Amino acid sequence: MVMFKKIFREFFLFFLIIILSSVCIPFRSYAAAESKIIKVGYYENEVFEEGASDDSIKAGYAYEYYRKLSEFTGWKYEYIYGDFVDIYNMLLNGEVDMVAGLAFLEEREDMFLYPDRPMGTESYSLVKHEDDDTISTHLTSLNGKKIGVLDSAIKNKLIDFLSEKKINSNIITYTSYDALFAAFDKKDIDVMATETDGTNSRTHAEILSSFGSSDYYLCVSKNNPKLLKELNTAQEQLYYEDPNYISLLRNKYYASSLTSRAFSEVEKEWIAENTELRIGYLENYLPYSDTDKDGNVTGFVKDLVPEIFKNLSLESVKVSYQGYQDYDDLTKALSKGEIDVAFPVGGGLFYSEEDGLYLTSAVTSTAVNLIYSDEFISASNADFAINKNNKMQYYFVKTHYPDSTITYYDSTYDCLNAVIDGKVKCTTLNGLRTNTLLKNRTYRKLSFRQLPYTDDRCFGVKIGNEGLLKLLNRGMSVTGQEFSINLAYQYSEGLAKYTLADMFFDNIWAIFVFALLILAVILFFLQKDRHKSLKAIKEKEKARIEMEKANISKTLFLNRLSEDMHNSVDSIIDYANIAGKDKSGRTDEYLGKIKDLSSHLLWLIDDVHDFSSVESGQYNSNDQNLKFRQFILDIKEATSENIEEILSAYDFSGNRTLIVDSITSVRNNVTALLKKTGFEVQVANDGTDAVNKIVAAPAGYFDLLIIDIQTPNVDGYEASRQIRNLGNSEKARIPIVAVSGDEFKNIKEVNK
């Protein structure tokens, strides 16, 4: 039994928690459910509801309100388009679920459903053409005039107003806002009755009079009370989370409405009496204001003031600027009447009264940053560095940190340097200036944190100049703070004094790497040049050594050849003497010997000439030997482009040659080339091998000997001498073409 009671009690508590949860959190229940499709009646109405077609971008007060509600309900919208009258009738017939912007009328309560909260409040105004002098603030001037109005609740308000004022006007109704505005812009009507805020500003329009106001609602089809309940719940939740949402929405969309140019009497008076506006600005305070190197104003003040007067359609007002180094000088100039407006000013109501000026609404409202050096500090009783030329900084510190101590410095940069040097604990910077100022390399070791207070920067006008104050406030309402903030980023870069040293230290690693690369490239080319020079020296040395070897070989050859020639001459002389004295009848034999020795001597002389010709490249004989030698000379001078043409000029078919070279690749390439001209080719590795092959072959077997003069073991000179001294005269007389190793290599190259 006890166990049963315990279980029952726990179950009861659990059930109670569920019930309480559903009661305490009713507002999100619809959003959690499956998204519902809501048919929205959507009509074109500038400012209020724009983009009434599928291919148009939607915007406006009502559209944003729809989207906001969907955050609480999860609704998805299907937009049904038409003019106002069509959409109104669709709501009556249940063809759409919701329509925005309907005023409350008792007779409508049975026609559709009103939620508990309005979506806004609207005033109604009569608007005339600015250049129509026949209509004045005296409402009797409306008698007989054509007044256009939308066929809606505004029409009823207008009729009541005209009846009350006993005005007899011609009322013309329109089914859509587009038609109404078009008729007014074309001057088909004299006066337009419309929502004051829900109509865009028109340069040619002027508000004549207000004739009533009304709350307007997001109304629901009478057939859908469940949807009304969801709407009421969503509106309650919206108000609970953001009580100021309607005001913010109104300020966002109606700042540029007709009311923006509904000048008050004091504003009109200022406009009538002034054609010039003198702006005094604080120097050295970018992005707000400064003087550039040419003495001209810079900072967003120079763009903001013209924009304000443009938005008020007062472009004819001439704006001039005067810079001041010190805030006190700026406010004193305003008090003396030297300037009409001071910018920027701040300090709140108390300090602005002390300075004798009115503050406009905020041009910017930004956070203030506490700048410190080492560790985190409390600002409540710290010692601050304050720029003595900027009273706004002093006002902020004294207002929020009255127990702090203050030390004055000549500039913002001096204040930052004082923090770095440890002379003070901290200073402050306006939020629009902090990031850019601290980009400077000098200040990068400083830290900052955002303080919990904002600081407004405003225009200041002299106390009593109410007309200008209201004009500037009206202009700021139309222009908005966003315009100033966007301009601020454009001018903030002027705060960063980026020097060559900053660039160097910011990119020191990149510069170091780049320098290393340059050094590496220089070393590479130096090493390349050195290697090339060493290679050239080695090649020259190699050529010198080869030349010396060739000269030595040539000297030895000539010595041996000289000895052979000497012996041949001696033998000829001896045989000639013997033949002259011979009595035995062997004279013919001796003469034959003399003839053979003379021929041998001639061969030796020819060889000397031939080897000289190899070096000089000149030949003077006309026999087959010349043809062979000329062929070798042509090959020596040949290139890969003309080798085929040279080869086609020679035909050595039926001739057999012996090639002598120690390098296999050279032998192979020369063999291939000679075969193209008809030669039958055999090869030898060196001079000894060549001599042996000639000795072994029958006489006349070889028609030509091509030999490298620098072959190993027995060089070309020695091999040629041995061949010329062979006992077989036919073998000894073989044509010999001596070439250098370079010529063989050239033959190899052109034959690739």
Q: Read off the CATH number of the domain in which 624 is found.
A: 3.40.50.2300
- What is the pLDDT averaged over residues 170-198? 87
pLDDT for 10 beyond 80: no
**Any domain includes 161:** yes
Question: How sure is the predictor about 579, in pLDDT bands with cuts at 50, 70 and 90?
Answer: low
**Co-location of 379 and 302 in the same domain:** yes
**Co-location of 469 and 411 in the same domain:** yes
| DSSP secondary structure code for residue 224 in this structure | -
Instruction: State residue 554's pLDDT score.
Output: 64
Instruction: State residue 221's pLDDT score.
Output: 96
Instruction: State residue 670's pLDDT score.
Output: 83
**Any domain includes 555:** no
Question: How sure is the predictor about 739, in pLDDT bands with cuts at 50, 70 and 90?
Answer: confident
**Co-location of 102 and 247 in the same domain:** yes
Instruction: State residue 252's pLDDT score.
Output: 77
More confident residue, 576 or 608: 576
**Any domain includes 296:** yes
pLDDT for 32 beyond 50: no
- What is the pLDDT averaged over residues 29-38? 62
Instruction: State residue 620's pLDDT score.
Output: 42
pLDDT for 199 beyond 90: no
Left, alpha or beta for 282 (phi > 0: left; psi -120 to 50: alpha)? Answer: beta
Among 155-164, 473-482, 603-612, the range scoring the smallest mean pLDDT is 603-612
Residue where one domain finishes, among candidates 198, 229, 261:
261
Instruction: State residue 598's pLDDT score.
Output: 58
- What is the pLDDT averaged over residues 220-229? 96
Backbone angles phi, psi at 165, to 5 degrees: -85, 0
**Co-location of 20 and 40 in the same domain:** no
Do β-strands 191-195 and 205-221 pair in parallel, antiparallel, or remain unpaired? unpaired
Polymer length of the chain: 752
Q: Which two tokens stand for residue 265?
A: 């009497």
Can you list the positions of beta strands (E) in 576-689? 656-660, 680-684
Q: Return all residues near 564 (Cβ < 8 A) that are at least 6 apart.
A: 600, 604, 721, 724, 725
Question: How sure is the predictor about 299, in pLDDT bands with cuts at 50, 70 and 90?
Answer: very high
pLDDT for 167 beyond 60: yes
Task: Say if residues 429 and 301 touch (Cβ distance below 8 Å).
Answer: no
Q: In 3-state terms, what secondary structure has residue 80? A: strand
pLDDT (tens digit, 9 = 90+) per residue, 53-74? 999 999 999 999 999 999 999 9
Instruction: State residue 459's pLDDT score.
Output: 96
Picking from 460, 384, 389, 458, the residue whose alpha carbon sits closest to that of residue 416 is 384
**Any domain includes 488:** yes
Instruction: State residue 534's pLDDT score.
Output: 85
The CATH number linked to 172 is 3.40.190.170
Picking from 210, 208, 195, 207, the residue whose alpha carbon sits closest to that of residue 153 is 195
User: Percent of the chain scored above 90 by pLDDT?
Assistant: 39
More confident residue, 751 or 339: 339
pLDDT for 686 beyond 60: yes
Instruction: State residue 496's pLDDT score.
Output: 65
Among 163-177, 343-357, 547-561, the range scoring the smallest mean pLDDT is 547-561
Instruction: State residue 582's pLDDT score.
Output: 62
pLDDT for 612 beyond 60: no
Between CA 227 and CA 182 the distance in angstroms is: 36
Question: How sure is the predictor about 561, in pLDDT bands with cuts at 50, 70 and 90?
Answer: low
Picking from 261, 476, 483, the residue whose alpha carbon sits closest to that of residue 362 is 476
- What is the pLDDT averaged over residues 653-676? 86
pLDDT for 453 beyond 80: yes
Would the CA dihedral through 591, 597, 599, 602 be positive or negative? negative
Question: How sure is the predictor about 747, in pLDDT bands with cuts at 50, 70 and 90?
Answer: low
**Co-location of 320 and 250 in the same domain:** no
Question: How sure is the predictor about 256, in pLDDT bands with cuts at 50, 70 and 90?
Answer: low
Q: In terms of residue numbers, what domain contains 15?
A: 1-29
**Co-location of 185 and 312 in the same domain:** no
Instruction: State residue 633's pLDDT score.
Output: 66
The CATH number linked to 464 is 3.40.190.10
Instruction: State residue 284's pLDDT score.
Output: 93
**Any domain includes 134:** yes
Summary mean pLDDT of the chain? 82
Q: Which two tokens stand for residue 347?
A: 């300090």
**Co-location of 314 and 232 in the same domain:** no
Instruction: State residue 260's pLDDT score.
Output: 56
- CA 599 remoteness from chain centre: 92
Number of separate domains in the chain: 4
Backbone angles phi, psi at 150, to 5 degrees: -70, 145
Instruction: State residue 157's pLDDT score.
Output: 87
Instruction: State residue 318's pLDDT score.
Output: 95
More confident residue, 258 or 667: 667
Among 158-162, 335-339, 502-506, 712-716, the range scoring the smallest mean pLDDT is 502-506
Task: Say if residues 392 and 455 touch (Cβ distance below 8 Å).
Answer: yes
For 690, the enclosing helix (H) or strand (E) is: helix 687-696
**Co-location of 3 and 88 in the same domain:** no
Residue where one domain finishes, among candidates 261, 293, 321:
261
- What is the pLDDT averaged over residues 662-679? 85
Picking from 389, 302, 312, the residue whose alpha carbon sits closest to that of residue 343 is 302
**Any domain includes 559:** no
More confident residue, 673 or 363: 363
Instruction: State residue 21's pLDDT score.
Output: 47
- What is the pLDDT averaged over residues 166-172? 93
**Any domain includes 515:** no
Q: In 3-state terms, what secondary structure has residue 691? A: helix
pLDDT for 37 beyond 90: yes
Task: Say if residues 610 and 735 touch (Cβ distance below 8 Å).
Answer: no
Quote the pTM value.
Answer: 0.51
List, as one string, the DSSP characters of 475-501: HHHHH-HHHHHHHHHHHHGGG----HH
Backbone angles phi, psi at 597, to 5 degrees: -65, -35
More confident residue, 1 or 398: 398
**Co-location of 25 and 39 in the same domain:** no
pLDDT (tens digit, 9 = 90+) per residue, 623-647? 566 566 677 667 766 676 777 887 8
Between CA 615 and CA 709 the distance in angstroms is: 11
pLDDT (tens digit, 9 = 90+) per residue, 339-349? 999 999 998 88
List, as one string, the DSSP characters of 350-367: HHHHHTTEEE-S-SEEEE
**Any domain includes 517:** no
Question: How sure is the predictor about 3, in pLDDT bands with cuts at 50, 70 and 90?
Answer: very low
pLDDT for 20 beyond 60: no
**Co-location of 221 and 361 in the same domain:** no
pLDDT for 258 beyond 90: no
pLDDT (tens digit, 9 = 90+) per residue, 85-131? 999 999 999 999 999 999 888 889 999 999 999 998 888 888 888 88
Residue where one domain finishes, among candidates 498, 530, 551:
498
**Co-location of 330 and 220 in the same domain:** no
Q: Which two tokens stand for residue 144?
A: 């007989």
Q: Which two tokens stand for residue 227?
A: 């949807």
**Co-location of 257 and 285 in the same domain:** no
